[in-house]
Amino acid sequence: MVSAPEGIAGDLAEHAAQPPLALLRRWETSPRGLDEAEAERRQLAEAPPPARRRRRLSGTAAAPFVLVLAALGAVSALVGDLRGAALIGLLAVISGALRFGQERRTGRAAAELRALAGGTATVLRRAAAGGPSTPREVPAEQVVRGDLVVLHPGDVVPADLRLLASADLTVDQAVLTGESHPAGKHAAWTDPSGDRDAPADPFDDPRLCFAGTTVAGGTGTAVALATGAATYVGAAGRALPGAAPATTFDRGVRSLSWALAAVMLAAAPAALAVTGGLDGAPGGWPGALARALPLAVAVAVAATPEMLPLVVTALLVRGSAGLARRQVIVRRLPAVHNLGAMDTLCLDKTGTLTAERLSLDCHLDARGRPSAEVLRLARLNAHWSVELSGRLVGDAIDGALLEGADGDPTGPEGTAALPFDYARRRATVVLGGRLLVTKGAVEDVLARCALDAAERARLTALADRWAAGGVRLLAVATAERRLARALSAADERDLRFAGFVGFRDRLVPVAAPALADLARLGVRPVMVTGDHPLVARRICRDAGLPAARVVHGGELAALDDARIAALAAGGAAFARVGPAGKARIVRALRASGRTVGYLGDGVNDVPALRAADVGISVTGAAGPAREAAGVVLAHRDLRVLAEAVRTGRRTFAGTVRYLKIALTSNVGNVASMLAAAALLPFLPMLPLQVLVQNMCFDVAQLALVRDRVDEGDLAAPRTFDRRDLARFVACFGPIGAVFDLAAFGLFWLVLHVHGDVAGQALFHTGWFAENLLAMGVALLLLRGRGRGAPRPPWPVVAAAAALALTGLLVPFSPLAGLLGLRALPLAALPLLAAALAGYVLATLAARRLYQRAFGRWL
């Protein structure tokens, strides 16, 4: 079980403690329910405000990468390069559209929380004030505060309710509490100890039912205390941030985008510096700016991988398609990367590690020895309590007892039954008219047995030892008596203790090997559950998880985030943790530098699913849990998680490969462009030419989506490492710049390029061709470490060849005039070959040295 938020808990405790008539007066209703006009008025008053799309649009427009492209387009338009401005603007719109398409999904979790109940509900309403009430079936979202709700088996509770009347009502609260057993609910409640105060936890109060839970059996009538966002489920939705917190992927892309923005801002001062500054320039500072701004735009364009969103999205889409083939549904594309970066997996147990049914574990006599007779008596009790009570099915305990039986249990026929209820916590049947068999909670049954204090203490201690091992025991007792009247609770006295039957949650068979596979990939599992600490410890043991200590949810308030993260890293499990506590554990781990995944399927898991870098759920999970998750497993098979992690790492390796190759080439271009601008009386290359060159390169790099990945890059979690990226660029970027400048010198000396218009166009063409040839070579040489790395597949080889041919053929195509290029003379080809050969040899040598020095390529 879990604890509700303090404000909600206080209100619920107050409502539960009030007498029914006083509660009805408070909500201005009556035992006959609301009239239709009043219900409609309340529904209008409680309707949630519509979501605002404008806020999402403004957040998309403020994305750093979109701002970089928009600024470049604006400056290009100012310097008269309208074609370049239009092209950059189109890229900015595409980038923003891709981001908006992802961001608009983030608000759906709160909407799903409001509509959790779904379907319909039965309410008592009057057609007019003073008229008779009749049961009406209405859409669940139309239930309002003060409505009288009628509950039947299978109903989803549409609101937070306070029971007014009930009959054998049980409610499955697993989506909120993680408890696998249905909870008994009844309108009149008195604690067995005589304490009439409400339980500390509202979920323990049998008078309260919560929105989103399911009626397992029995019937009830209740008044609606809270609906929609005001319910406990709604409070979980309000606790979520307006948008999901930034994940590892988001932070990596954002830091890269702001770094590119910084380069763009530094372009203008750098351009002024190489063009001679403001002083002494022809025409004064306006003339200096007129010369520096085109260079600044060209430098900024050269430094910016304009198609970064498209390339990264293509890589993520390919990764998600691979996961879909493995029955893993990706709801948010960045989750593909975050799966690969994940180094900690927090997981709830119910529905993920354990099945949603109990299994019979043991049947013992009073000495703790296996006893077939005790099992026979327990099965007879289960069978006849269902048959004689008129119920279609028994509860989870009865189902587990009867599941292994071969047909009906053998024994005398049942003649009377007193079904289980949560006030008595036991069920009794009479067999053959004289044998009374009682089965129920250990303490309740022992209290009605003819035992001395020492024997009762011994049996209680025996039950506690089994409970410490995660086995839930029920006691079985008998009595011989003939009844002259109907069976009643008064007949459950002076019983003879027979033994125990024990049950445990079923561990999913694949759970232990799946978690072991994740551990081999460097992913640490951490149990975070709302269930009992002893159950949590036993599940950890069975699943092979570390459980050096089980931390109770009540202890979290006294711990700071650093201590919580240290406990999780030290192998602690967390039990009796509520939704807010689960989310806090996830946030504490993230604050300690971990990349955290969370696996859960209940409404109580929603805040943690949203707080994690990647939320993981299953198709059978509660709607809000599926909506809050970035990844949904189509089947409850945890074995696919390990393969999903590997797929995420392959996708990340492709992303890093693209970034390293693109930024290395771009940085080399920037350095050579600034150096050439300081030596030449004209721009080394026009902004539009640089932009088209970069776009050709980025389109070619889309082939990296099909590239192979070294298995060594999948062995450990990886995420964006700015130091590694900067180190790679610093090692290989200058090589490209040196051979760019060598090519410039050859063009100037051999081709006799001068400052006239024709000479400038020839120089631009030579550099355009040389750059694309070098980029094609870089695509092949920088994708892997060389010897021992997987060979490039044919799409990558074809893309590199196409890039080189583009550099050679575009100057002879109709596009040449549009781009300001001209056909190269044949004398330029040996120059290009010489510069390219030097670049290849230098890059191969640097690659070998880099591998020896750092040992890791991607």
Q: Which of 323, 318, 321, 329 is nearest to 633 (CA)?
A: 329
Instruction: Specify the pLDDT at position 436.
Output: 94
pLDDT of residue 278: 44
pLDDT value of residue 148: 93
Mean per-residue pLDDT, 696-704:
82
User: Does the domain made of 328-353+509-636 have the CATH classification 3.40.50.1000?
Assistant: yes
Which of 348, 395, 505, 740 is labelled catalytic? 348
Give the confidence band of 114 by pLDDT, cuts at 50, 70, 90. very low
For 305-323+644-854, which CATH class?
A: mainly alpha
Q: Which of 245-249, 632-636, 698-702, 828-832 comes out lowest in average pLDDT?
A: 245-249
Beta-sheet pairing, 549-552 with 524-527: unpaired
Of the given ranges (126-130, 231-235, 397-401, 761-765), which has the lowest mean pLDDT?
231-235
Could you read off the pLDDT of 815-848 as tens digits, one per residue? 888 888 888 888 788 888 888 898 899 999 988 8
Amino acid 186: pLDDT: 81
**SS3 for 191?**
coil
Q: Taking the domains of the chain in order of start, what are their residue ranges? A: 6-50+118-239, 57-112, 305-323+644-854, 328-353+509-636, 361-506
Average pLDDT, whole number, for the chain? 78
Count CB atoms within 10 A of the CB of residue 787: 8
Joined together, the tokens standing for residue 715 give 């062995």
Cα distance between residue 556 and residue 581, in whole Å: 7
Placement of tokens 């506690």 in the chain? 464
Report DSSP letters for 93-151, one per residue: HHHHHHHHHHHTTTTHHHHHHHTTT-SEEEEEEESSTTSPEEEEEEEGGG--TT-EEEE
Whether residue 575 is predicted with pLDDT greater than 60 in this model: the reply is yes
Q: Which helix (H) or strand (E) holds 91?
A: helix 82-103
Sequence letter at residue 774: A
Class in CATH terms, 361-506: alpha beta
pLDDT classification of 392: cutoffs 50, 70, 90: very low
Encoded tokens for 202: 């509202």
Strands 214-226 and 160-172: antiparallel
Going across the sheet that includes 328-330, the strands are: 328-330, 631-633, 614-618, 596-599, 344-347, 524-527
pLDDT tens digit string along 238-250?
Answer: 555 444 566 677 7
The sign one gets for the Cα dihedral 12, 13, 16, 18 is: negative
* Nearest in space to 651 (alpha carbons), one of 334, 336, 342: 336
- pLDDT of res. 364: 93
The 8-class DSSP code of residue 474 comes to E
- What confidence category does residue 111 fall into, taking pLDDT thresholds of 50, 70 and 90? very low
DSSP 542-607: HHT---SEEEEGGGGGGS-HHHHHHHHHTTEEEES--HHHHHHHHHHHHHTT--EEEE--SGGGHH
What is the end-to-end Cα distance of the chain in Å, rounded?
45
* β-bridge partners, 526: 346
| Token code pair at residue 356 | 């949603």
The Cα 95–Cα 574 span in angstroms is 42
User: How is the chain split among helix, strand and coil, in percent rounded to 5?
Assistant: 55, 15, 30
Look at residue 211 and tell me whether its pLDDT is greater than 80: yes
Residue 755 has pLDDT above 90, yes or no: no
In the predicted structure, residue 180 carries a pLDDT above the cut 70: no
Say if residue 117's pLDDT is above 50: no
Assign 3-class secondary structure to 254-297. HHHHHHHHHHHHHHHHHHHHHCCCCCCCCCHHHHHHHHHHHHHH
Q: Are 45 and 237 in contact (CB under 8 A)?
A: no
How many angstroms from the chain centroid is the CA of residue 250? 14
Average pLDDT on 551-571 reads 88
Q: Which token pair is 254?
A: 């954002």
6-50+118-239: which CATH number, 2.20.28.10, 3.40.1390.10, 3.40.50.720, 2.70.150.10? Answer: 2.70.150.10
Choose between 146 and 91: higher pLDDT: 146
* Maximum pairwise Cα distance, the chain: 123
CA distance 318 to 461: 58
Measure the CA–CA gap between 327 and 108, rounded to whole angstroms: 23
Is 348 among the residues known to form the active site? yes
Q: CA torsion 597→252→567→548, rounded to 10°? A: 50
Pairing of β 426-431 and β 435-441: antiparallel
Three-point CA angle 223, 226, 229, nearest 5°: 155
Residue range 256-308, pLDDT digits in tens: 767 766 766 676 677 667 665 544 445 555 655 566 666 677 677 667 676 66
Mean pLDDT over residues 233-240, rounded?
A: 59
Ranges of H-type helices in 751-855: 757-781, 794-809, 815-819, 828-854
- In this prediction, residue 106 has a pLDDT band, given cuts at 50, 70 and 90, of very low
Measuring CA to CA, which residue among 257, 245, 175, 244 is closest to residue 216?
Answer: 175
Long-range own/partner contacts, residues 613-622 (CB < 8 A, 24 or more apart) = 613/247, 613/248, 613/249, 613/338, 613/341, 613/342, 614/247, 614/335, 614/338, 614/339, 614/342, 615/335, 616/345, 616/641, 618/351, 618/352, 619/329, 620/351, 621/351, 622/116, 622/175, 622/212
